[in-house]
Structure 1
């Protein structure tokens, strides 16, 4: 279900004449108010330890409960995407991010409470202060380090995280190949 389908009444004047006005908005025929449904900002952390392993979580809650995931979540009002990724990593892993380098973004659809929430997921390569402080919390049932070659993206429950991992690992492989070619 598209999220706009849940909006039957104009949130400004309460009129029932709140009609679809394209794929991303509804407009009130009574007062003229137009509401746009744009993607929510979300962030994803890719964290590597000194062995080159990637930090992976097991999801504690739906959607995709029990599947693998990377640390991250929705940005909150008033925070930057970088602040959001740092906060989410701390909440889910207990680790303090000291550097968050933007990599790329991917669109996603996050099914929650029967509604498809469209998101724009921003991926960051994060460095943490001390990876020995790792402790699952918040949405993470457990946290683990996995070698890149042992990652099976089909075990990850969210589409953008699967595609983001594929993109990241392909970049890493190209970077390795280029380094080896220069030797």
Structure 2
């Protein structure tokens, strides 16, 4: 960031207070919502990423929050967009600060995770712009995931087997 978003004066990188108008700019993480969707066999669904960053890596269904969208609502929406399914969210797993590369910049993100199940009768229809394939993998042997925050969330679920999945 080279200019104040309010008055256009030259500035330093955030956090900064504009010397011209006094506007304060902060570098805050962008929130995301992610569903860790389980089946009855203690497996969870992963998606092989079709686009950057981390093309080809395994991913969980989730993404950035829209406008004033709560991360919980984003997790439900992202499952619908990426897998074509409705989900029921269960317990909140946690949130972790991570990074996401976008347009050659490292963005700070606040990744929020919930346990989930597919709604009754739901059948996955993968959005091929999001993923090239999906798989159900055992919690006891997860594949390497695209983002470190996802690895942290899965470790947390493994540590707390009594969590509620609807």
TM-score (ref. length: structure 2): 0.89
Aligned to 1:142: 133
Q: Say which structure, 1 or 2, has more relative contact order (CA 8 Å, 6+ apart).
A: 2
Cα 1:72–1:131 shift into 2, 3 Å: farther
How many residue pairs end up in the alignment? 162
SS of the residue corresponding to residue 12 of structure 2 reads strand
Structure 2 residue 20 is matched with structure 1 residue 19 = no
Q: Which has the larger radius of gyration?
A: 1
Aligned to 1:156: 145
Show CA shifts across 1:3-53 (max 9, x none).
xxxx1111111112x135xxx512211111111111110112111112221
Separation in structure 2 between the aligned mates of residue 149 and residue 100 of structure 1, nearest angstrom = 20
Root mean square deviation of aligned Cα: 1.8
Separation in structure 2 between the aligned mates of residue 50 and residue 15 of structure 1, nearest angstrom = 57
**Cα displacement (A) at 1:132:** 4.8
Any stretches of 5+ residues in structure 1 without a counterpart? Answer: 1-6, 177-183
Aligned to 1:10: 4
TM-score (ref. length: structure 1): 0.81
Say if 1:134 and 1:143, in contact at 8 Å, map to a contact too: no
Say if 1:41 and 1:120, in contact at 8 Å, map to a contact too: yes
Cα 1:119–1:28 shift into 2, 3 Å: same
Aligned to 1:169: 158
Separation in structure 1 between the aligned mates of residue 33 and residue 136 of structure 2, nearest angstrom = 20
User: Where do 4+ consecutive residues of structure 1 move more than 3 Å?
Assistant: none
Any stretches of 5+ residues in structure 2 without a counterpart? Answer: none
